[in-house]
Amino acid sequence: GDSVTQTEGPVTVSESESLIINCTYSATSIAYPNLFWYVRYPGEGLQLLLKVITAGQKGSSRGFEATYNKETTSFHLQKASVQESDSAVYYCALGDLASGSWQLIFGSGTQLTVMP
């Protein structure tokens, strides 16, 4: 079946440092799945951070970027300069068409702590 693998946490970086959280996927049911990054802040539910549906395209939001690379089947999340408020759990996911309806397949999440 489909799967998503991402950087194991926890990850700790200092404020204003750069960040990369790796994500690779394996999709068997669909050639070019939609790819997502969701974020979960403490005490809250997951929120969509960014979504890219076209291979080769880049998505961006709140200073984060991710590029859909179909050659390496990757969708790494990057930010040039993190802030303390970016501390959260980040989930990579792909959209899978199974049993006639779309579902999300999630990675295990990466806990990010940004130190002031």
Partner 1 sequence: EAAVTQSPRNKVTVTGGNVTLSCRQTNSHNYMYWYRQDTGHGLRLIHYSYGAGNLQIGDVPDGYKATRTTQEDFFLLLELASPSQTSLYFCASSDELSQDTQYFGPGTRLLVL
Judged by the rule CB under 8 A, the positions of this chain that interact with partner 1 are 4, 34, 36, 38, 43-48, 51, 91, 93, 95-96, 99, 101-109
Nearer to partner 1, 42 or 116 (CB): 42
Measure the CA dihedral 87/20/31/93, to 10°: -10
| Distance (Å, whole) CA 67 – CA 11 | 21
As measured in angstroms, the least distance from the Cβ of 110 to partner 1 is 11
Residues 6+ apart with CB under 8 A from 109: 6, 9, 40, 89, 90, 91
As measured in angstroms, the least distance from the Cβ of 80 to partner 1 is 26
Nearer to partner 1, 15 or 30 (CB): 30
As measured in angstroms, the least distance from the Cβ of 13 to partner 1 is 21
